A and B are shown apart, each in its own frame.
Chain A
Amino acid sequence: MKLTRREFIKLGLGAGLTMMANPFSNLLFAEEIKAKEPDMVGIQNGTAAEMFERGIKELGGMSRFVKKDQTVVVKPNIGWAKTPADGATTQPDLVAKIIEHAYKAGAKKVYVFDNTCNNWQECYKSSGIEKAANGANASVAPANKEASYKKRNAGGKILKDVMVHELYLEADVVINVPVLKHHGSATMTSALKNLMGVVWDRRFYHGKGLHECIAEFAAVRKPDLNIIDAYQVMTRNGPRGISKSDIALRRMQIIGTDMVALDAAAAKVMELDPAKINHIVMAEKLGIGTMNLDKLSIKRVTL
């Protein structure tokens, strides 16, 4: 980790100084990056694993995010004791593919976990993610006991002290892999909402202000990479789903670093107006990212 930081500082120092000196350089600098890699990649028309394979290539490969000997946390949505076909959890083949790429990029250890809503063992098993992750040599960690959580100050207006899974805090790289779903009270669950799965006390969120807490949690740590699994999209009765008819096959995936931008794009996939989804709007106000997709370079790939 030290090496990486040093490298990063070396590389970024010059640019950083220029940016501080010149308020317009920010735009210029962003433009430079744009020329190289897009901010966001949308892929459609493949299996979840195929789309990721292509998408990460467009983004400059996994080695852009994972360096040698780093520990990586892959955080899929494993919330419910349902099968991959039910669309309530992230596609297991996608999780396996991400782990594979992380190891190829030189990761020392990859962890997979989620603080599930249903019984954790049943969720890990029936979602197929435990098997897929173990198959890809990742370590599937439990998140069902308070012993795994550490207190952090999120410094939000509502969310102050929050118990966060220690792997999420300690890992060098965090890869957020939500599945796109309708949500009864949050309207939509995607990248920002998926991070509720690294938090111990979710009742606090629900009790004190769901949208505010979701947005404010991003201050604790932003994932280094977000992959929105929209292979199957739950369009109603979310986040658990009642039957298979709640699911629409979209065969789509959105990859990028900006959770807010990704969620805004994901909302459009759900045919929703991101400006009406409170936690996305709040996150933008907190400076987590931008909802304005026109400002970003988006690469769209149809397989």
Chain B
Amino acid sequence: MSKIRKLYQSIFLIFSFYVFTADTALGESAVRFFHSLHIFPSLNAAFSGHGSRWMAVTLMLLVLTVFFGRFYCSFLCPVGFLQDILSSLAKRIKIKPSRVTNYPRLRVFMLFFTVFLALFNTGLWGWLDHFSIFGRLTNGFAIPAVNFILSPLEPYLNKTNYFQIEGSSAQAGFDFYYSILFIAALLAASAFRPRWFCNTLCPSGALFALIFKSGFMKIKLSPPCPGCKKCERNCPSGSITDGRVDYATCVTCLECVKICPKDILKISFARTEACDEIFPESKGTAASGTRRAFITNMATVAAGIVSAGYSSKLALAFDNVRKIACVIPPGAGTAYNFFSKCSACHMCISNCPSKVLKPALLENGFVGLSKPRMDFEKSYCGFECNICTGVCPSGALTYLPLAKKQTTAVGKVVLDTSAKTECIPYKNKTDCGSCAEHCPTGAVYMVQQGEVFVPKIRRVFCNGCGACEHVCPVAGAGKPIRVVPFPRHIPVLRLADIQDKIKKAPNVKAPNAPAKGVEDAKPSGGTDGFPF
């Protein structure tokens, strides 16, 4: 690997990690720029009507690909970098990678499959999109792994403000094991077929390849070539066979140009006609340009679209999206909108300051797998926070200004006041009031009943933040106060607005300070003005 490419890849990897873990620290522009470098989330946002001016960056990326090839894949992409590292590791242990061309039709199929999965409103494309995969690797694997590794230092680190960790309490969930499997598969694949993921499964890679096919900057071999095959052996994507470059898999990393001892591999800006294409035909089958090839290609495209259609139908039919078991983040609007747009990139999860957002397993059904849900066992949604609504790259969460977020109900509180309740003031006749203490809206409040204060609820004001459920000291599943999730988020009233209109602080006497105009009138000592 050439050093300059490594440097670019490393910088972008760090940038990616940083965006995924400390998104809001970078400022909105940097984050939006990062999002817009990723085609599928940006496209999905645009499809769902959340496109922004940052789409210009996405288009620019595609235009640049026309001129400079797949520089994103070779110089920036963190998943590509991961594969480069893995295949150079494989090379160290003397595994000889295969030079067999990847499956070109599968690539075309994947591209159309993914595009139409997005168009048909399912978040399923997130399982193929490298951006979302990287997000899950970061949040599901890298963060817990770092926590586990650093857990012996937990007593020291957590006493400071600088670098607190969850340590041993970090959870290895579904995404942890998914990531291990994914990395293992990637390792195996990269060992035998370099950049296999990029050139077979990755829809962004397929789109880049499609554009690159009609692009300008290409690697050309100008004879006479002594045939040392150095370029072949060192090509990180295995795209050179007998001096022929497969432009469908070439990622324009320029390794071959650098390594060629005779300097006969050149970058050419001339449009080349003779090359393997995005629909390349291996020798022996129908040559490109024939009717047969055309039909096969079209059939592949059609198969991609049709499969996407069926998958989306299946995925949504699999579950009744009107019923959810866990609260979904504010900004989602409806469960249907949320599950159909979210690609499970975990951007909101890793940026949630109160850590209430956690990836779901199957609580919200198959469509909710690995997508965020609120886990009131762990935390609750901060009233003064709307970060998650602003960081979604794929349009599953719409930005809500703070005041709007505070008056959007993602669920509603229910309180068990029956004879069998576990609620402490009702059951034990001792004061508790945790729920009302934490309630930011006044939906839960305390009323004196005999010797103790007991909680009561006014559901109209509840926005479902889950603070009451989280802080309730009753252990286990039998909490008397819970939040029932809403599949359709609704606006709520603000007690603050109403109580200000009705009466001004009814049980408060005028402040003790002298009224205006008598500011200088000093009481003559004694207990003047003091109630004690």
Contacts and interface: CB of A to CB of B under 8 A. Distances in A.
Chain A: interface size category: 35 or more
A251 B526 contact: no
Interface in A172-227: 183-187, 202-204, 206-211
A184 B164 CA distance: 33
A269 interface: yes
A120 B156 CA distance: 18
Contact of B473 (A81, A126, A207, A254): A207
B532 A265 contact: yes
Contacts of A117: 437-438, 471
B401 interface: no
Nearest to A204: B473
A248 interface: yes
Contact of B523 (A118, A264, A302): A302
B504 A245 contact: yes
B453 A184 contact: yes
Given A144-B164, A243-B500, A207 B432 contact: yes
B158 A147 contact: yes
Contact of A147 (B159, B436, B530): B159
A242 B436 CA distance: 11
A123 B453 CA distance: 27
Contacts of A207: 424, 432, 473-474
A182 to B, nearest CB: 9
Most buried by B among A122, A147, A203, A206: A206
Contact of B432 (A206, A245, A246, A278): A206
Given A142-B160, A207-B473, A207-B474, A147 B512 contact: no
B267 to A, nearest CB: 50
Interface stretch (A29-37, A97-105, A233-241): A233-241
Contacts of A248: 505, 508-509, 511
B511 A250 contact: yes
Q: Give chain B's interface secondary structure class.
A: loop
A298 B529 CA distance: 14
Contacts of B532: 42, 254, 264-265, 268-269, 293, 298
Interface stretch (B296-304, B337-345, B441-449): B441-449
Contact of B433 (A42, A184, A242, A265): A184
Interface residues of B, number: 60
Contacts of B155: 147
Given A206-B433, A243-B496, A142 B164 contact: yes
A122 to B, nearest CB: 6
Nearest to B164: A145
Nearest to A124: B161
A265 B157 CA distance: 41
A249 B513 contact: yes
Contact of B512 (A44, A208, A211, A240): A44
Given A186-B431, A235-B507, A242-B496, A119 B354 contact: yes
Interface string A38-50: 0000101100000
A245 B500 CA distance: 7
Nearest to B444: A184
A140 interface: yes
Most buried by A among B438, B441, B504, B526: B438
A121 interface: yes
A145 B147 CA distance: 14
Nearest to A303: B522
Interface in B210-247: none
B476 interface: no
Interface string A267-303: 0110100000010000000000000010000101010
B526 A186 contact: no
Most buried by A among B157, B382, B504: B382
B530 A242 contact: no
Contacts of A209: 430-431
B233 to A, nearest CB: 52
Interface in B437-478: 437-442, 445-446, 452-453, 471, 473-474
Interface in B484-507: 495-497, 499-500, 504-505, 507
B273 interface: no
A122 B382 contact: yes
B158 A142 contact: yes
Contacts of A247: 505
Given A44-B512, A145-B159, A183-B437, A81 B432 contact: no
5 contacts: A122-B384, A141-B161, A145-B158, A147-B159, A300-B528
4 shortest interchain CB distances as A-B pairs: A185-B433, A243-B496, A207-B473, A184-B446
Given A185-B434, A242-B495, 17 more contacts: A119-B354, A142-B159, A145-B164, A146-B158, A147-B154, A184-B436, A185-B433, A203-B434, A209-B431, A210-B432, A240-B439, A242-B496, A245-B499, A247-B505, A264-B532, A268-B532, A300-B525
Interface of B: 154-161, 164, 353-354, 382-385, 424-425, 430-434, 436-442, 445-446, 452-453, 471, 473-474, 495-497, 499-500, 504-505, 507-509, 511-514, 522-523, 525-532
